[in-house]
Structure 1
């Protein structure tokens, strides 16, 4: 069983991008080099603001979906280290 990560990356426009991966270092490098998600191309510099590990891909995708539904304010609270509740999950 492999470990998966859910992460938030901030671009130069102060927007937060949420994604999942099983290799956080490699994936961030891809984003930074412009070979990752189209949503981040040309919007550097990028900073990895937050990440958490989960047990499997299914859990990672479910958590990613819940985070993408959050308002910018709640995502910022997550980045700041505050605990937030997501439908039965507390981060």
Structure 2
């Protein structure tokens, strides 16, 4: 059995996919636009590389935190609390 693993970093405008084999060798690395035909072509190419292909995905949505005066730190909305001193959630 030819084991492969695929990972995709999904963005708003484009996505990046990497596929590795059981030894960790990179079999595919491709950036595709957020377009149905490009995504279907990518899926077909990935499925040609292995008998079973488990997928992992990462959706990146970052924004600057309003509490940071110099706006040099970034936070994900899923991990940022933006709590005020009163304990209530901020804007």
Q: What's the TM-score, normalizing by structure 1?
A: 0.29
Larger RCO, structures 1/2 (Cα 8 Å, 6+ apart): 1
Structure 1 or 2, whichever has the larger Rg, is 2
Which structure dedicates a bigger proportion of its chain to helix?
A: 1
Report the structure, 1 or 2, having the larger strand content: 2
TM score, norm. by length of structure 2: 0.29
